[in-house]
Every structure is written in structure tokens, then in C-alpha cells.
Amino acid sequence: MFHSLRTVKNRTVELLQGFVYFFVPNRVIAQLPGYALRHFYYRRVCRLRIGERSSIHHGVYITGRKIEIGDHSTVGRHSYLDGRGGLTIGSCVSISPDVHLITAQHDMNDPDFANVLAPIVIEDYVWIGSRATVLPGVRIGRG
């Protein structure tokens, strides 16, 4: 009986975390018109590290919580930030609209198609143009 109660509790916690860290930020918070409430939720609830004078624009889709953004950086509207494998965006970085930063992929040789994570690092003073895709394990150097 205790095993099944523990299982129910764990499953309930997983569902609540999914709601708080996935559904609410992407379906509600990302659609709000101002920065203040979005950034408050991302910083305080999701615990993303967002530097001073940095902005995450309207409609940005976020998965995972291992995301760090430096000072004076911008993430353009409708971009995708995948923090499951770790995503570091430096200072004074400009990410244009519709950019996908993906830190997860599948192992094609594994019969279970296992998830493979690798971090993305974008150093300071980088511009990433519209509709670019950055794949797992990539490091983009300064400037």
C-alpha cells in the first residue's frame, strides 16, 4: 500500500511540475504583452538566470530549466530555448526571431531511441540570424 501511495505522490508531483514549468510558461506567460511579468515568472518560478537588461520576447518557447542568459542579451520572438542539456547565452548576444537552440537528440543506434543531451554555449557579442538552428554540443565563440 505504501508503495502505491508513494507512486501516486511522485506522479502527482511530476504532473504539477510539468504544469508549472512547461504548460504555464509556454501557453500563458510567453503570451503576455509586457516583459516584467514574463521575466518575473521565468526568474522566480522557473529559476532561469536572466542577466540585467536582457529580454525574452513574446512567444518564446522554453523547455528545461538549465538556462543562463548574460547581461544585455535579447531572445527574439517565437524562438525555442531548450535547456534540458544546458544552455548558456553570454552577454550582449542578439538572437533573432524563430531561432531554435536544441540541446537534446536521440541515439539512432539505441533500440530504445534514448535521449542524448549536450550543452550549447553561446559566448559574448554573438548575433544569431533569424530561423537559425543550433544543435546539441555546439559552442559559438565570442564575437
pLDDT of residue 34: 84
- Give the mean pLDDT of the chain: 91
Residue 73 has pLDDT above 70, yes or no: yes
What is the DSSP secondary structure assignment for residue 29, as one 8-state letter?
Answer: G
Residue 68 has pLDDT above 90, yes or no: yes
Question: What domain range includes position 93?
Answer: 2-140
Q: What is the CATH number for 134?
A: 2.160.10.10
Q: Where are the alpha helices (DSSP H) in 19-137?
A: 35-40
When divided into structural domains, the chain yields a total of 1
Task: With cut-offs at 50, 70 and 90, classify the pLDDT of residue 2.
Answer: low
CA distance 65 to 36: 19
**Which cell goes with 117?**
543531451
pLDDT of residue 18: 73
Residue 64 has pLDDT above 80, yes or no: yes
